[in-house]
Amino acid sequence: DFNSTNTIPSWIREAPEEIDVLLAQRDFVQAQKILMKCEKTLATEYPKFSNDTKHQLSEKRKMIVDWTKRPTRSCSLLIQLGEERKAARLFLESRTAAQKYSRKNLVMEGDLVRHNQKFCRIFFDHIYETTKEFNHDFENKADSFSSLVVWVQAELKAFVEQFANQVFVGNTDLLEQAECISAAISGSLKASGHFWEIYFGSFLLRVYDMVVFNMCREPNM
């Protein structure tokens, strides 16, 4: 039965999720290698195979093609012309679009804790890699730094809202909520550094407020 997921190796079934993580880390080369390895194996060893995994791999191919269309040349040209702020805006807008695309394609799979761990890992990798790349491309461009600060604040706000909607809804178990919060804190600590302590500190306070509010809603608390 070629439509059964049991007919293909586990590494192929897990590849779409692994590619998502690599894209968030901006590791397009490794993501492409995994995709091509999967496609080659399916074409040669499972030519009649067709199920959701193959469809997901097809979607990842589109993502890799879209995400690698970076506005690097446009940004470089604007910087050379002395238009650092426009270049910064173009770069950060492209990163926001990439993150939104990633969130859109992150479907709920398995339990809440596992899904949330992936959600947090992708988001904070996104913050870390964007900041690192921004610092490289806009080194010694102090006027552009404010754009990055505003961008991080906006990204964190969107993350907190989605995090709350995922974790603090319905009858989610308190233990599961605690594990989700732990994943968020671990991710924020990884992404923080240099000048981000104050912003991630604010993020942690928001998470704490969510916990207190949710505990007050619990019966017998």
Mean pLDDT (whole number) for 102-115: 74
Residue 12 has what pLDDT?
A: 92
Q: Residue ranges of the domains in the chain?
A: 1-69, 84-221
Q: Which has the higher per-residue pLDDT, 103 or 67? A: 103
pLDDT per position as a tens digit, 145-182: 888 888 988 888 888 888 888 887 767 778 888 888 88
pTM assigned to the model: 0.60
Q: What is the full DSSP assignment across the chain?
A: -TT-GGGS-HHHHTHHHHHHHHHHTT-HHHHHHHHHHHHHHHHHH-TT--SHHHHHHHHHHHHHHHHT---HHHHHHHHHTT-HHHHHHHHHHHHHHHHHHHHHT----S-HHHHHHHHHHHHHHHHHHHHHHHHHHTTT-HHHHHHHHHHHHHHHHHHHHHHHHHHSSTT--HHHHHHHHHHHHHHHHHH--TT-HHHHHHHHHHHHHHHHHHHHHSTT-
